[in-house]
Each structure stands twice: as C-alpha cells, then as structure tokens.
Chains A and B, each alone.
Chain A
Amino acid sequence: MTETVKVPVLKQGDCLIATIQSALIDTDWERLSDDLSEKTGKWRARGVILDVTVLDILDSFATRILHTIAQTLKLRGAETVIVGIQPEVAIAMVQLGLMARLESIPTGLDLEEGLAFLQQQTETDRRHVG
C-alpha cells in the first residue's frame, strides 16, 4: 500500500504554486484538489499554477481531474494555469484526443511563464474594471 503523496503548495504573492514531484494516484489527486481549494480561500489567491513537469504520462483520468480542479478553483475565485507539459506527453495527449478537456485551461511552458500569465490576467482584469 503506497502512502498518499502530498503535493507541496507554496504561496507567491497572490498566486499558489503546486509542484507535482512524482506520479499521482486517484487519492493523491483528490487530496491535492481539497488542499488547493482550502488554501485558495485561506490565502485569497487569484491564481494557481500546477507544475506537471515531472509527469511523463497525462492520461484521460489525469486530464479529467485537472479539468475538475480548474473548475472548482474558478468557483473559488482563482484562475488555474498548467505548466511544464513535456513534449512527448503533449504529442501523446494530442494523438489520444485528450485535448478537448483542457481546451479551456491556459497552459504555459514553465513556472516563469505561468506567473507572467497570471500577472497579465490580473492587469487585464484591472483594466476591465477601469
């Protein structure tokens, strides 16, 4: 019985950074979802970055879960960005037709890009409000 993996979640300004460090099973994902949900509220985060650099497989289960997390966090007032998808993983996902679920979720190359994106979003929102 493998022990549940805890994904470290760090605060950076009004963003949360969750860096996945090993392959996750269902319960790990659930735990992550709950954790992010809680911390978004606690720290009033406006953006969440999910770093999946380490994962060499993103199957249909993972993409479904990511979609669910993004929707959940949106309801809590935060935008989700997925960063670090590996080239091989990207190709596999496209070939397997798993793109549909991630259509609405922004993606970025790495942490830096993720943060830049969220920064941009905040400014855009600010401008909208006027």
Chain B
Amino acid sequence: MDRGEQCVYIADNNTAAEILKAMRKEGIDVETVTKSGALTVAGKRDAYLRGGRFDPDSMIDFLNESTDSAKAAGFSALRVTGEMTWALGSEPGVERLMEYEAKLNTFLPDHDVLAICQYNKNRFPDDLILNVVRTHPMIIFGEIISDNPNYITPEEFFDPKPELELKRTLQNVVDRDESRRNSRLIHVLSERVKELNCLYGITKMVAVEDVSLAEITKRTTELIPPSWQYSDITCARIRLNGHDYKTMNFKETIWKQSAEITVSGQKSGEVEVYYLEEKPELYEGPFLKEERELIEGISVLLAKTAERQKAEQFVREQQQMIRELSTPVMPVSDRLLVLPIIGTIDSRRARQLTMELLRSIREHRAKVAVLDITGVATVDSAVANHIIQTVQAARLLGAIVIVTGLSPQNSQTLAGLGLDLSRVKTAGDLRSGIEEANRLLGYTIVKTDAEAA
C-alpha cells in the first residue's frame, strides 16, 4: 500500500474480520485504506469460485480486469493474495488448480500484478503441495523468503523434459557443495576472529599506561577461553614473575597446550591452556595450528610487556639517581654550606635544589650557603628567577646565599634582563665566595708560620 498498489486479500480459512484485526495489530490504518479502496478483503466466492465453479481462464480474466481497474483508479499495480484452502473442497473445477498456477506464470510477468498464494502444508496432500512448489518462482516457507530453485516453467510443467530436470538436480548438487564450503569457511574465519580479538584485547591493555603487569596477566588469562575453539571447555593459567592467575574453571588435564614466557632471555613464566574434555585430534593434540601460533603470540606479548616495564622502571631509577647526584649539598665548615651545580636548571631541579638547601640549612644550622653555578651552561631569566627564589627562601630560614661562578656572558645576560638582583650577593668564583662567607661568619683565615717555633 505504501508503494501505491491496490491490495486484495481473498480470505477463506480466516474470516475477513480476523484478517483486518491482524492488520490493525501490525499498525495498518484499516479504516482509511478500506475507504480509499487501497485495501479490499474479499471472499472466495467473489474471486476463485465465482459462479460456483473454478475456471483457470476466467480467474485469469478476473485478475486482468482487476489490474486494469486498479490502474484506472490511479494505483500503480495490483497485489493479490489468496488463501487457497477452498481448493480442498469439492467444487467443480478444483482439479484444474495446477493448470491455473502454471498459466499464472505466463500471465503475471506481462501485467502489473503480483500474486501470493497461501497453502496450508498441513491440510493439503503432499503431492499437491509438491506441484505448488514447482509452479511458483518464489517461495515463502517459515521465515525464509527465497527464489525457488525447484521452479519449472509452465511449458515444462505441461511438457516435462528429463534433460532440464537433470540439469536442475545437478545444479542442486553444486549449490550444496558450495554451501558446505562456505560453512567451513565461516567456521574457519570465526575462529580467526576469536584469536584476533584475544590479541587485540591484550594489545589494548598494554597500550594503556599505568596498568601493572599483574593486572595485564590476570586479564589475559580471562581472554584465553573465548579465543579457543571449544570455549566452554577451555581453561587457562598464566604464571609470570611470581604471579599466578587461573580461570575459574581451571583444572589440569592431559589435553594441554603451553608456551614459555621468556623475558630478557630468561624463562620467567608459562601460559597454559587445558581442555576439560576430550576432543578430536587435530594439529597439536586437539588444538589447532593457529592456536599454537596464538599461544606463542600471547607469551611473546606478555614477555615484551614485562621487558618494557622493567626498562621503564630502570629509567625511573636512573633518573632518581641522577637527581640525587646532581644536588649535593656540602657542609664545608662550621655553618657554611657549598652547593656546586652542574648542568641545566629546570623548574623541577630548581625546586629540588631549593628543598635540599633549606633542609641542609636546618640540619647543619648553616648561616651561609655558597651556590656555585660555574657548571650551569645557560643562565636565562627562568634560571635567574629560580636562583632569586632560592635566595629568598633561604633568607626566611636566616641564611645568606652567595652566588658564585657567573660567567662573563651569563653576567651580561642577567644584567640585561632587568631583574632585581640587589638582594642577591655574588662573588666572582668559589674561592672568593668562601672567603666572603667566612668574613660574614666572622672568621679570618690566618696563615700559621710553621717555621716559627
């Protein structure tokens, strides 16, 4: 009706009322379409058994007339469906039913009409249904709507030819084989998909930062059973670096597939897969060749992840060590600290430096600290600010900071920056710095004359 076709339903088994009710339930606005003529529900006597008898030719004439009047009324085509239960009856002409069905196939293609014949399989004899199947190019059976491989043309129906029958039979054999091969292919592909999903799942986990090796191992164990062929009877265990994870259904059996996990050349663990039941022999016991590849793949992924995490850990430790090495605070004499700085000073290092200095001031009760920046390559405004802040913070703890070791270039740069360096005490080099520090502390260095005795 949505396509602008006029629809005629010829009811027999069901009453008109039942048909309309079913249509309403499907959401069809029965009242509107009936009024517009788009839908008609007729009875068998209006159609098939007009005049009390069934005649194939007059039935086809009837369809022809109905199509013409539909087109005249503005519809694009006629769509007819009829319940054929009346054919079980004893009205005259019923035996010519098949003749009618065959003739329809000549009539229908040339006219704007489509017909669906409804046969109740349980009520009609099998030989009749068989003929029905052979005379209809399309078949609706259960939930299947399909073109009909068993369809024969009207000419053949009335004049059977063995060579055509043979051709059809052999085609069925070919189709069946293709179908079987497709099923096998689908099975193989779905196994590959399961395996891919497993590897993909592990890769996704590994790509996320801050997931511990233990967590990855645990989740990988869970990913294994769905990826093997017989998922329901698969269980797994992974041992890695002392971690041991098993699936809920874990049990050791004789049907085992395993792979070692080798981290940095050392055996660090094992991936084990067990089947809980016996299954037919394939490549490796009951396991597929692809499953061997998969289990190897999993163990390699886990090994690489463990190696990577170890390397990251190592780098972190090295960085920490470098940091500790790079901010030595040296108590030189009573209440005097010296800090030789080498390398670059970024905010992080500056913070660390300041913290270390303040802690040392407290610990050694220092009053003067000499900050030697001879080893600092570039002193830009950022570094200058860090130094100024360090000096200020130290002052709050009652200590004076003397900055030494500014190169001629750096001094020029600093001067040009226009910062307030008035509160920053400086000295040319470390030696002068220490001398100044001692002076501030009230010490004078006197050389003792060893000869004078």
Residue numbers of A with Cβ under 8 A of B are 83, 85, 87, 89-91, 93-95, 99, 102, 106-110, 113, 117
List the A side residues contacting B395 at CB < 8 Å.
107
The answer to whether A91 touches B393 (Cβ under 8 A) is yes
The A/B interface has a contact count, at CB < 8 Å, of 50
Query: Within residues 349 to 365 of chain B, which ones have a CB less than 8 A from any CB in chain A?
Result: 351, 354-355, 358-359, 361-362, 365
In the complex, A108→B361 CA distance in Å? 11
- Please list 13 pairs of residues, one from A and one from B, whose beta carbons are closer than 8 Å in the complex, sorted by A's number: A87-B397, A89-B396, A90-B394, A91-B358, A93-B396, A94-B396, A107-B396, A107-B397, A108-B398, A109-B361, A109-B362, A109-B398, A117-B398
The answer to whether B399 touches A109 (Cβ under 8 A) is yes
Chain B residues touching A, range: 10 to 19
In the complex, A109→B397 CA distance in Å? 5
List the B side residues contacting A99 at CB < 8 Å.
392, 396
The answer to whether B398 touches A107 (Cβ under 8 A) is yes
List the B side residues contacting A94 at CB < 8 Å.
389, 392-393, 396
Q: Closest 3 CB pairs between A and B? A: A87-B358, A108-B398, A90-B396
Whether A83 contacts B359 in the complex (CB less than 8 A), given A90-B393, A95-B389, comes out as no
List the A side residues contacting B359 at CB < 8 Å.
87
The answer to whether B365 touches A109 (Cβ under 8 A) is yes
In the complex, A124→B354 CA distance in Å? 32
The answer to whether A85 touches B397 (Cβ under 8 A) is yes
List the B side residues contacting A107 at CB < 8 Å.
395-398
The answer to whether A90 touches B358 (Cβ under 8 A) is yes
Whether A90 contacts B397 in the complex (CB less than 8 A), given A99-B392, A109-B365, comes out as yes
List the A side residues contacting B398 at CB < 8 Å.
83, 106-109, 113, 117
Q: Which residue of A lies closest to B399 (CB)?
A: A109
| B351, B359, B395, most chain A CB atoms within 10 A | B395
Chain B positions 391 through 413: 1 when the CB is less than 8 Å from some CB of chain A, otherwise 0: 01111111100000000000000
List the A side residues contacting B362 at CB < 8 Å.
87, 109
List the A side residues contacting B365 at CB < 8 Å.
109-110, 113
With contacts A91-B351, A93-B393, A108-B397 known, what are 11 further pairs, Cβ within 8 A? A85-B396, A87-B355, A89-B396, A90-B393, A90-B394, A90-B397, A94-B393, A99-B392, A107-B395, A109-B365, A113-B398
Tell me if A's interface is mostly helix, strand, loop or mixed.
Answer: helix
**A117 → chain B closest CB, angstroms:** 8
In the complex, A102→B396 CA distance in Å? 9
List the A side residues contacting B358 at CB < 8 Å.
87, 90-91
List the B side residues contacting A113 at CB < 8 Å.
365, 367, 398
Query: Within residues 308 to 359 of chain B, which ones have a CB less than 8 A from any CB in chain A?
Result: 351, 354-355, 358-359
**B364 → chain A closest CB, angstroms:** 10
The answer to whether B397 touches A91 (Cβ under 8 A) is no
In the complex, A130→B395 CA distance in Å? 30
Chain B positions 165 through 207: 1 when the CB is less than 8 Å from some CB of chain A, otherwise 0: 0000000000000000000000000000000000000000000
**A121 → chain B closest CB, angstroms:** 14
In the complex, A85→B394 CA distance in Å? 10
Chain B positions 354 through 392: 1 when the CB is less than 8 Å from some CB of chain A, otherwise 0: 110011011001010000000000000000000001001
List the A side residues contacting B361 at CB < 8 Å.
109
Q: Which residue of B lies closest to A114 (CB)?
A: B398
In the complex, A60→B393 CA distance in Å? 16
List the A side residues contacting B392 at CB < 8 Å.
94, 99
List the A side residues contacting B354 at CB < 8 Å.
91
List the A side residues contacting B396 at CB < 8 Å.
85, 89-90, 93-94, 99, 102, 107
In the complex, A92→B280 CA distance in Å? 72
In the complex, A85→B396 CA distance in Å? 7
In the complex, A34→B315 CA distance in Å? 57
Q: Which residue of A lies closest to B398 (CB)?
A: A108
List the B side residues contacting A83 at CB < 8 Å.
398
List the B side residues contacting A102 at CB < 8 Å.
396
**B339 → chain A closest CB, angstroms:** 15
